[in-house]
Structures are given as C-alpha cells and as structure tokens.
Structure 1
Amino acid sequence: MPASTKFDAIIIGSGQAGNPLATALAAAGRKVALIEKAQFGGSCVNYGCVPTKTLLATAERLHLLRTAPEVAAPAVLGAAGLRADLAAAVARKDALLAQSRQGLEASLTGAGVALFRGHAAFTGPRTVRVAPNEAPHAPRDLTAPLVFINTGTRPAVPDVPGLADVPYLTTTQLLDLKELPEHLVILGGGYIGLEFSQMFRRFGSRVTIVEHSPQLLEREDDDVCEALKAGLAADGVEFVLGAEAHRVSRGPDGHLTLTAHTHQGERRVRGTHLLVATGRLPNTDDLGLGFAGIATDEKGFVQVNDFLQTNVRGVYALGDVHGGPQFTHISYDDYRVVRDALLHGKRRSARRRPLPYGIFTEPQVARIGLSEGQAREQQQPYRVAKMPVASIGRAQQTGECTGFWKVLVGPDDRILGAAIVGAAAAEVMAMLEIAMAGRLKYPVLQEMIFAHPTWSEALNTVFRHLKTAR
C-alpha cells in the first residue's frame, strides 16, 4: 500500500478551472495538489481555443492577400494560388503552446502548488492514487477533504461501420497535420467542424461538411444558420446536410469514401482525409469514480448540483467534465463559483448565468441570452430588431458586409438576447451582454455616444428596426 500524503485540496486536471483554483487556494494558505497526466493547460491551451485560433490567424492572412483587390489594394502576384505552409503554421502554433504550458507550470509552482505528473484514480471518496508517468517512481496516495475533478473531454467517435478500419482524424490530430489535405471531408457540422472547414479551405484544401441535421448549428435560429452557411459557401466549402453516415471505406489509392443516406438518396463523398467532429465525451471512464460513489449520467458526465458539488461530500466537478456548454469562459466561471463559495462566503448558482459564445469563422457568429426559437418555446413576449450588416458604415468602409444583427427586447424594454452574424460579432455581443448584466433598457444604447466610425456605433441604429414578433 503506497504511503498517503494529506492535502487540503486535490485538483485532478490542469484545465481552465483547475489552474486558477489551485493558485487561489494556495494563496489562501491551503496545501494544494494538482495532478496532470498530459499537458498543463487543459483543452483550451492544448487542442482547443489557443491552437485553433492561432491557425485561423494564418488562414485569415492568406484570405486577406487573396482578396486585396476587393478594397482596391494592389493584387499580390500569385496570391490567388497561395496555399498554406502547413508545417510552418503548425510550428508557430506549437511554439506558442510550449510557451503557454511553461508559463502555467511556472505560475503554479511559484504559487506553492504541489504538481504531480501522472494518472489519477479514486480509491475512496476523498482518496486519490497517482500513478506517475515516468518509471521507476512508485504510485502515491493523496487524501484531502476537498477534491476537484477537472479532467475535460475527448473527441467522441461515432459507431459508423468501417470507421475503425480507416485512418480518420480527430480534431486533436488535425491540429498537428503538417501536410495539406487535398480534400478534407468533415463529419459533423457543429461549431468546431465549421471553424476547421473554413480554416482548411483557406489553407488551400477542398472541404466538404457532412452533417446529419438538415441545417448547421441545429440549436440556432434558421436565419443565423443560413447566413453562416452562405458565408462558408462563398469561400468554397461544400455541404451535404440531412445525411446519416452509414459506412466508411478506403480505396486502393488510399482515398476515403463516406457513404450517407439523405432525403435525395445515397450520397458518397470521397476525400483524401476524414475529420470526425461529432462531439466530445468526458474523461471519466478511468478515474475510478465507482470507488468513490460519484454519480455520472449515461454518457459519463459527472452529475453536479447548482454549486458544482457532486453527490459525494467534498467532491466537485469543474469545466467540461460535468456536461453542458463546453466553453473555456464557462470553465473559468466554474472556478469563480467555487472560489467565492470556499474563500469568500458567497454562494452563486452555476445554472443561472449568461452563456455567451462565438464562432470565429468569417462571418463570425455570436450569441447571448435567448434566441427567437427559445423565446417562442418559453412563451416569452418580445420585439425583435434586425439590421443587415451591409447598412453599417464601418462595414461599407471595410467591405465586410456579410450578415446581420438581431436583438430581442422584452416588454420592459430590456434586452433578452442577441444573435450577431458578421465582422466583430463577438465584441459587439459582449457589449450587449454588459447592457444585459446592468439591466439597461435599450434606449440607453440607442442614445449613447459611441466613437465614430466603429462597429459599436451601430447600437445607435439597430433598435430603429424594432418590430413586434409574429
């Protein structure tokens, strides 16, 4: 039996909730252990926001070079045929990730957090055994009255016949690809697949998205989905929607064929590479949760209450591992919910909070609060203001005219939600979120003095289009 070491808190996983919590608890004088079996930083740093947005920046620069003549800039010789130096782009991404990981490790160590590199599994309600990554170090048992599960998720792989027999890519693996695919087929039309679709199209690959739903982003309003689809299609992304994949095969030339049922009949999509982007599963199956009596749902997500507590006293789950919206900013807010409860005596529900999100395609898509569909489902009375981006002065100056702004207003003139499709969508959405948090009535924004010419200045004009919902 390994010797047991006592701590005040054990954190399993170095994600966007676990890292700041470890630092905050250590600063408060707690003895803290943080266990990480892979890389410091969790999904955001290693295979989520940071690497994808770094590579998207490469794709955006290529697109700007190709489209320079649209704003009367001199054409760059040969720009139309530019393709990404994918190996160089990946090297730049890797250098940034290494810097981020090193910075995180240094900050945790500097805060006095005890770091353990290895696999953690419960052996009891508040006892964790760490199997070190490197031999010949022996396993160690750690105990604490507080344990936080922050192990994140991994790509889900659908049960499609033949898929296991071909060299498909997950979203994590695609980030390390150093040779540009000739034709990338993407199974899944969620926000992750959409960002990758435009990225690789602009890199120079042919790209086809195969999605089971009849529209992209099935939880969004139809007009949002259609505007995004039109924007991606303008870049040359191809779509096969309402398609149920039922077979994957590999030909003698190494090319992959995805066969799917559609309303129009069977479709076969043939490509050089296949990306599987059909959701994510929690990293809980090897944590020994049964030994601690920690409850999960049928997919393995840890069940928590409004305060992120599991059914076992003293054990919490933070970030993507407890299900719900899987965004870095939500994971970080999980940290604040727990920090405030444990260190500041403030209890705040993790259920009743705004859930903003953005998709960093072009056009961008951003949303906060209720969509029109949700307002109807909840029988919430509302008026809606909808304005084309092309009517905004800043859009006319930059040539970024695709999309629309849509804002929902309640009977009390307060903002219920917004969907922005277009340039700077996420930044504009943040301003509306601030207004919602401050419970401002829409005329405050309509009469506010914004600097000219900015995207935010259009908040003066969008509410002129307010109409009662039909």
Structure 2
Amino acid sequence: MTNDNTQPAAAPAPRIAILGGGPGGYEAALVAKRLGADVTIVERHGFGGSTVLTDVVPSKTLIATAEWMALGGAAAELGIRINDESGTETQTISADLKAINARIRSLALTQSEDIAHRLVSSNIRTIHGQGRLVSAKEIAVTGITDKVGKPQPDEVISADYIIVAVGAAPRVLPTAQPDGERILTWTQLYNLSELPKHLIVVGSGVTGAEFAGAYHALGTEVTLVSSRDRVLPGEDADAAELIEDVFRTRGMHVMSKSRAKAAAVVGEGEDEHVEVTLEDGRVVTGSHVLMAVGSVPNTQDIGLEEVGINTSPSGHVVTDKVSRTSVNGVYAAGDCTGVFPLASVAAMQGRIAVAHALGDTVRPIKLRSVAANIFTAPEIATVGYTQEQLEKLDMRYTITKLPLRVNPRAKMMGARAGFVKLFSRTESGTVVGGVIVAPRASELIYPITLAVSHRLTVDDVADAFTVYPSLTGSIAEVARMGHQITEG
C-alpha cells in the first residue's frame, strides 16, 4: 500500500484585462489584485487618465488658486491691510498664469506617476499603448512604448474578464474647431502663459460655470454664454439662481437664452481676437473662447461593435447596476458609460465590476447616495433626490432651508451667499436629499450623505453634536426645523 501525498495543482489565477487607466480602471486593477487576480491594465496617455491629467485634478487646482485671489479681494472687509514693499497700502493682487499652469501641469504629472508607481508596486502589469477589443477575451494593443518612450512590439492580451474604462473627451462643434491658442477646450487651458483679457465661456453647465468663476476670480473679464434661461440648468434651482446672482454681482457678464452657433479667430497680430456668433445673429467678441459644450465617450474604434457590446445613441457603453455590458465577461466603468460623470462613481463602478467578476460580495451601485460638488465660489454640493425628482414622485416630502448668512461661523468668515436645504419624508422624517451652497460645501455634504445612505431621520441628524461655531451647525439646525411633533 502506497501513501500518495501529491497535492492537486492550484487553479490558475483569474486574468483581468483593463482598457483605460483612469479612476474606473486603476481602482478596478488594485481591487482585482488584492482579490488574487492576474491583472493587466492598458493606458494610452498616462495613468489617472483625463481625470488626473486634463480634467479634475488640473481644474480643481486652478480653482483652489482662484480662491486665494477671492480671499485677497475680501481682505479689507475682514480688517486685513495688504502693503507693498514700500509699506504703501494696496489691494492690488495679480495672478501669474504661466506659473499657475506650470504648477498645475507638474502636480497632475506627479499624481499620474504616483498612480503608475502604485500599480507597478502592486505587481500589476501596466502597458502604455492603444488597446482595442478583438473578442470578449482579448485586447490587441498597438503603439506600445516603454517608460522612456521606446517603441515595443504589438501584442494581444488574453483574459478571462475585460473591463472597459476609456473615459470621455470634450465635445467639439464643427463650427468652432479648437486651435489650442484662442479657441480652447478645457484640456487646453493649461498651456496658456498669460491671462486672457476677455474669456468667452460657451456653456453654462458644471464645467463652464467652474471655469468662468475661476478665471473671473483670477482677474479676467468673463462672458458666460448660456443656451438656457439660467446657469447650471441641471442643478437645484435655488442653488443655480444664487450662483448666477453671485456671478453678476461680481461683474461677470451672463448671457441667458443665448445659444452659440460658431466661433472663429479674426484679425492678425495685436488685433487678433475671437468672435462667437449666436443663433440669433448677435456676435460676442473676446480675446479667447472656452468651448464647454459637454463631452463624448471615447468608445469609437475600440472594437465594441465587432464584439457585440451594446452602446446608446450617444455612444456610451450600456451597463447594468453591477457594471456588466451586453457581452458576458465584459464590464465597463466610468464616463464611457454615461452613468454619472464623476471620478467617485467611475471608481465605484470599477470596484463593483471586479467584485462581480471574481465572485466577491457585490453591492449594486446606488446613485441616490452619490454626493456631487460644483466647485464654484461658493461651492454647490448635492446628494440624494433633487426637488425636481421629488415633485415627480408619489411621495409627500418636506423642505427645510436656512440661509448661510445667519450662521455665526459664516459671519466670521465674511461668507454671506449660501444656504443649507434638506428634503425629508413628511411622515417618517427620513432624509432623502440635501443641497449645501457654501464655502467648502464639498466637505460639508458628508453628514447628509451618511443620512441618505443609512436612511437616517432629521431627528437622528439633529441629535448629533456639532462644534460651535461651525458651518455644520447649520446642518443640525435645518434638521431640527424638520422635526415633527408626535401626537400621543
């Protein structure tokens, strides 16, 4: 009798190939590696994607710089005097856009390199090249280069599961072709060396409003061209109205119900400028124009049709709540899905895709608990149901609202414009949504996000201690305003 101690061979690690190195891609890669998968990620530009290199990180860095300019402008009200080297009092503050943009580009590149280093140090294979699906199990990669840009052979990556996370790019109008000098997309702003004398911003959505506010704070004359009757047409009406009032009060030109038809560079030398033609025939003249008219998914020519992956009429990849596409084993995450153009949502979609593919615990994405922020000054943060959505639902709801100007901390800061607003179910008091318009609203929205996510009531929120004085005190106060007396 023999004793066979031979152990069965271990099953090979599942292989995951990821096309796109933005938040949806690199977050999926890191989670997949922790769950024991063999991971390869393909990125054609730089890890972190447009979020890090040309979108969120650069734009929010620019906005953070603009905030300092705004603070300088409010210094006199707070009793602060600014003196030049001779001791003469002055309130003149200027922005060096060349230095600002150099810092922005450096910061973005460093962040991208940090992400790449983290992927490599996690034993994830990274490939710099252009990927294309050739089947539900294969990605062909061309134009591969090594770390120093040296060309490498093309290859085909085989995988058990594929995640498509290719992001999106600025939408371009045929009649307003960007030249990178005077007609610009938001990815091209960071090459400017001087502040535009007069920046025309076409598009009053989130991107347009953020850049309009930032450049105006930096000292540029700004005209914001909006095709709708107000700025930020997709946002809370009270918040959008407040921001538009702030823009106008600070001296920005806001043109409502004015749809742009074309943009062109006119003149030569010192007389060179841009002209934006509106559909009604009016012409707006400025030194530069930013076309902020939306984005389009980077889903063209990556093999989706050949593999049979369904896309929407807008070109976005169609996914379900666990990030599955119409083809078994292929998932998608991020802006290319059109679910929510937020880095946080892209990352969550990527993590959910990996969990589903590898059999880990899966919690389908809940869009009602997604917190979003618009980095204007003041900021606008939202979570949960909007008032417009609630009006369409068969739900009795209560609105409680408090202006920021009554908050003691806001008074100390010299912050007047803003408010806190909560939406709750009338019968139960359950918090179903909220809006904060205030400095650092992106930080303040978190307790309301917790309330929405965990179905807390206004009483639950009100019973928690807040620091005095603090802006969060207004959140507790608005919650107390929603208390319903129990009849006994």
TM-score of Structure 1 vs Structure 2, range by shorter chain:
over 0.9
Is 1:332 the equivalent of 2:347? yes
Residue matched to 1:53: 60
Partner in structure 1 of residue 10 of structure 2 = none
Provide, for residues 128-185 of structure 1, a one-character-per-residue CA deviation record: whole Å limited to 9, x for no partner. Answer: 11002446532111111100001100000134x3546895100000123222111110
AA in 2 matched with 1:173: Q
After TM superposition, the structure 1 = structure 2 runs for residues 256-295 of structure 1, keeping only pairs within 5 Å, are 256-261=274-279, 266-295=281-310
Secondary structure at the counterpart of residue 172 of structure 1: coil
Map 1:198-277 → 2, pairs under 5 A? 198-252=213-267, 253-261=271-279, 266-277=281-292
Tell me the percent identity: 28
Tell me the TM-score normalised to structure 2 length.
Answer: 0.89
SS of 2:191 mapped into structure 1: coil
Residues 66 and 79, structure 1, Cα contact 8 Å, conserved in 2:
no
Amino acid at match of 2:470: T
Structure whose alpha-carbon radius of gyration is higher: 2
SS at match of 2:282: strand
Give matches, 1:30-429, under 5 Å: 30-77=37-84, 80-134=91-145, 136-159=151-174, 161=175, 163=177, 167-252=182-267, 253-261=271-279, 266-343=281-358, 345-410=360-425, 411-429=427-445
CA drift at 1:7: 7.5
SS in 1 for 2:373: strand
In the alignment, the residues of structure 1 paired with residue 473 and residue 75 of structure 2 have an alpha-carbon distance, to the nearest angstrom, of 26
Counterpart contact for 1:126–1:292, Cα < 8 Å:
no
Alpha carbons of structure 1 residues 172 and 352: separation in structure 2 relative to 1, 3 Å = closer
In the alignment, the residues of structure 1 paired with residue 176 and residue 291 of structure 2 have an alpha-carbon distance, to the nearest angstrom, of 13
Give the ranges of 4+ consecutive aligned residues of structure 1 lying more than 3 Å apart after TM superposition.
Answer: 75-81, 133-136, 161-167, 463-468
Distance 2:119 2:284 in 1: 47
Aligned counterparts of 2:312 and 2:435: Cα–Cα separation in 1? 31
CA distance in 2, matches of 1:193, 1:243: 14
In structure 2, relative to structure 1, the CA distance for the partners of 1:164 and 1:196 (3 Å cut) is closer
Q: 1:447 to 1:125 in 2, by over 3 A?
A: closer
Range 442-451 or range 338-347, more displaced: 338-347
The 1:315–1:448 alpha-carbon spacing in structure 2 relative to 1, beyond 3 Å, is same
Which residues of structure 2 form unaligned runs of 5+?
Answer: 1-12
CA distance in 2, matches of 1:351, 1:425: 22
Q: Post-superposition shift, 1:464? A: 4.9
Matched residues, number: 459
* Matching residue's letter, 2:26: N
On the 8 A contact 2:176/2:262 being kept in 1, the answer is: yes
Contact in 2 for aligned 1:152/1:283 (Cα 8 Å): yes
Structure 2 vs 1, CA of residues 276 and 106 (structure 1 numbering), >3 Å: closer, same or farther?
same
Residue aligning to 2:7: none
Aligned-partner residue type, residue 422 of structure 1:
A
- CA offset at residue 43 of structure 1? 2.2
**Deviates further, 249-258 or 105-114:** 249-258
Q: Which amino acid aligns with 1:44?
A: T
1:41-79 CA distance string (max 9 Å, x none): 112211222111111121111222222111111134476
The whole-number CA distance in structure 2 between the counterparts of 1:31 and 1:272 is 51
Tell whether the 8 Å contact from 1:382 to 1:409 is kept in structure 2 after alignment: yes
Aligned residue in 1 for 2:4: none
Q: CA deviation at 1:26?
A: 2.2
**Cα RMSD for the two superposed structures:** 2.1
**Which whole-Å CA distance do the structure 2 matches of 1:13 and 1:306 have between them?**
20
Contact 1:232-1:362 within 8 A present in 2 as well: no
Q: Which runs of 5+ in 1 are unaligned?
A: 1-5
Letter in 1 for 2:27: P
Code of the residue aligned with 2:112 in structure 1: it is R
CA offsets, 1:258-297, max 9 Å, x none? Answer: 1214xxx643210110101011100110212122111111
Distance change (3 Å), C-alpha of 1:164 and 1:390: closer
Q: Is the 8 A contact 2:97 2:195 kept in 1?
A: yes
